[in-house]
Amino acid sequence: MMTGSALPDISGNWTNLDAAAEDLRVRAGVAESYLTDAAAAWQRVVPAYREPGTQDLVHTAMDSLPGPMAGWRSALAAAAGIIQDFAAAAAILSDECRTLEAERPSSAPAEDDSAARRALDEFNTRAGELTGKWNTLQEETAARLAAVSGGTGDGLPMTARTGGPVLPDVQWSALTVTLDDRLGAVSPALLLESLRGLDTAELRAWTEANPDAAALLAANRLMGPFPAGSPEAAMSAVLQDSLSEEGIAAIRAAWLQLPAADQEKLLLLYPAVFGALNGVPFASRVHANTITAAGYQHTLKQDLDALGEPRLSDYGHDRASAIRWNNDHTAWQAETGRLKDKLKGLDYVLDHGIQVVLISVEGDGRIVTMKGTPSDSVTTSAVLVPGTGADLSSVGGYTDRLNSVDGDPIPEKLSFYWQGADLPDELHHNVTSSYNEDGGPLLAAFDHALDLELAEDARSTYVGYSAGGSMLGTGEREGLDATNIVYVAPAGTGHEVSGPQDTASPSANRYWIQTRDDPITVAQVAGGGFHSGSFWSGGNPKTQMGAIRLESGFLDPFDPDTVMKGHSDYFVEGSTSAANIQAVIEGGRVSLYVEEVFHHGFGYSYWESPLEDHPEDYVRRKMPTVSTESLEN
């Protein structure tokens, strides 16, 4: 009686095996850095050790190690390649096995059923061939691993106390993924060689495959002292001042004096440091923060997973215990929400491939993103400073707002979303000047760094929204200069800023957009001492700064029923407000504010807003426009 042959067991997670082998290959590529670091440390010992009887032996103690280390590296690389070949071939055979099993004919066909017997015979033939392939693959792989040589310690002059070899006998045929555990913890320096030469896309792929390693690098900080002549030593000498224009220029000069290989080393080993450092070119910072963002994401996920929700059953049954549980649970909810908010921002950045020139997860998180590429061809730049409530979780929403006023990406344009400082969570949190005073100098420092990326004649525009408007004004006081300043319903004109003369760019073109009923008016009047020059002057952009008021207009310029109201819709794509902001950025035509008209006569007087009372007269391109050139000359 004919029966169907058994199929070989070709089961395994071949993708994981390939990834583990690739990790082994990475370790192989950096193995010699173990020796490099040790040799550098040993060289610091050499000058200090002077003993005629032993100093020659001590000074040359590491000279015999390069050969065995090279053998170790070569053996690891060879073994990794063999394992990857095996995983690839096994995956193919595993697919073939599943296909064959799905096609298995019924066993024990009738003697007179020639077709069924022929099908079963063909199945058995294919099953035998598959079994042969699988056995051959295993045998050949075992033979190739057994043939790997090196890394055994041959050539080392020392012996263990027992008289055996210093290094254990290596049986490559028994190699497993537990090798990582035997090698021990990885240090940032050991990852460097495997990252050198990767472009940003390749680096992003590496972080996706190695999130724990990315987290290790993102947490790495400069911890001197460093050997004289090292890139770390060169940059440490200028890191003390990253806020002033002179300090940032010094950082830029020191950076450009480093060889390209040293610049790459600093970006890869200390991504959070040099990815946030004013004076380092923005494109380089973006490359470094590919690691930083992925590393922070991994760390936050681990922190979130480690948060255990307090269980009421773990507390006592008395009232005091219930109160303690409630307090602990409330704190747990707050911390969980805080971590999730920051993860939301990092997830958005990584999922959308956003270019990051600064990222921090301290507090509510900070981020500065870039759209475009700095180059000599850039003629316009725009920076959006967000308002109350902005934190790391807001980056997606504000990216959409920036896109609505920045237009399509072209090589001549460069734009940034700048949330490089903490902003108030709620309106009532902004009743002092602290946010302005903390954020203003940071924004000015960013501008000093941006100036190094742009041609002198580039048209630069800063857009400050809500609380970001008064922070922008404070930044101007601290040295920020621009072609254009756009106040979008600002909390004020800047702490201790009573007029253009209090800024670094008194000749800047100034524009102001605000709806007729925006509640921010209260802050502009009552918050003057914290958000403008004084309590007596207030923070009205037109009165204090001579800003030209532009029309907020309509959410849909073709629909008279969509007059813009309130505080939150200024960046709606296609709106009058967004079109006006874009026209200022690019240098185009804007619609001026439609002034209220005062009516009076015998026994009556009142104000009328022509746009609100007769919106049909201003839609469908009836709104008058003028060129920014005519306003700026």
Is 169 contained in some domain?
A: no
Is 1 contained in some domain?
A: no
Which among 127, 153, 179 is the end of a domain? 153
DSSP secondary structure string for all residues of 452-471 = TTS-TT-EEEEEEETHHHHH
pLDDT greater than 60 at residue 613: yes
The 3-class secondary structure across 140-204, one letter per residue, is HHHHHHHHCCCCCCCCCCCCCCCCCCCCCCCCHHHCCCCHHHHHCCCCHHHHHHHHCCCCHHHHH
Enumerate residues 6+ apart whose C-beta is below 8 A from 454.
Answer: 374, 378, 381, 414, 460
Is 356 contained in some domain?
A: no
* Predicted pLDDT at 176: 32
* Predicted pLDDT at 149: 75
* Predicted pLDDT at 400: 96
- 157 C-beta neighbours (distance < 10 Å), count: 7
Residues 391 and 455 in one domain: yes
| CATH number, residue 470 | 3.40.50
Residues 533 and 394 in one domain: yes
pLDDT digits 0-9 by tens, 445-488 = 999 999 999 999 999 999 999 999 999 999 999 999 999 999 99
Residues 124 and 209 in one domain: no
pLDDT greater than 60 at residue 155: no
* Predicted pLDDT at 405: 96
Question: Averaged over 324-345, what is the pLDDT?
Answer: 94
Which among 98, 127, 153 is the end of a domain? 153
Least confident range of 25-39, 342-356, 478-492, 497-511:
25-39
Residues 465 and 562 in one domain: yes
Is 244 contained in some domain?
A: yes
What single DSSP character describes residue 430?
G
pLDDT band at 171 (very low <50, low <70, confident <90, very high): very low
Least confident range of 239-253, 415-429, 495-509, 568-582:
415-429
Residues 398 and 303 in one domain: no
Residues 57 and 201 in one domain: no
pLDDT band at 428 (very low <50, low <70, confident <90, very high): low
Count of domains observed in the chain: 3
Residue with tokens 């990252």: 195
Q: Mean pLDDT score of the chain, rounded to an integer?
A: 86
Is 302 contained in some domain?
A: yes
* Predicted pLDDT at 296: 97
Is 6 contained in some domain?
A: no
pLDDT greater than 80 at residue 94: yes
| Higher-scoring residue by pLDDT: 212, 102 | 212
Is 8 contained in some domain?
A: no
Residues 628 and 504 in one domain: yes
Structure tokens at 432: 């002092």
Enumerate residues 6+ apart whose C-beta is below 8 A from 395.
Answer: 345, 348, 349, 354, 367, 369, 417, 419
Domain encompassing residue 451? 362-632
pLDDT digits 0-9 by tens, 368-385 = 999 999 998 999 999 999
pLDDT digits 0-9 by tens, 522-547 = 888 765 667 776 666 678 899 999 99
Residues 375 and 321 in one domain: no
Residues 238 and 314 in one domain: yes
pLDDT band at 513 (very low <50, low <70, confident <90, very high): very high
Residues 322 and 206 in one domain: yes
* Predicted pLDDT at 162: 40
| Higher-scoring residue by pLDDT: 578, 188 | 578
Least confident range of 6-15, 278-287, 400-409, 496-505:
6-15
* Predicted pLDDT at 253: 97
* Predicted pLDDT at 52: 67
pLDDT greater than 80 at residue 283: yes
Which among 101, 126, 153 is the end of a domain? 153
Is 7 contained in some domain?
A: no
Least confident range of 152-156, 214-218, 430-434:
152-156
Max mean pLDDT among 314-318, 374-378, 572-576, 605-609 falls in 572-576
Residues 408 and 484 in one domain: yes
Question: Averaged over 97-107, what is the pLDDT?
Answer: 82
**Cβ 71 vs Cβ 79: under 8 Å:** no
**Cβ 413 vs Cβ 620: under 8 Å:** no
Residues 305 and 375 in one domain: no
* Predicted pLDDT at 29: 65
pLDDT greater than 60 at residue 166: no
- 39 C-beta neighbours (distance < 10 Å), count: 13
**Cβ 459 vs Cβ 379: under 8 Å:** yes
pLDDT greater than 90 at residue 242: yes
| Radius of gyration for the chain, computed over Cα atoms and rounded to the nearest angstrom | 34
Question: What b/e readout covers 224-263, taking b as 16+ CB neighbours within 10 angstroms?
Answer: eeeeeebbbebbeebbebbbbbebbbbbbebbeeeeeebb
- 356 C-beta neighbours (distance < 10 Å), count: 22
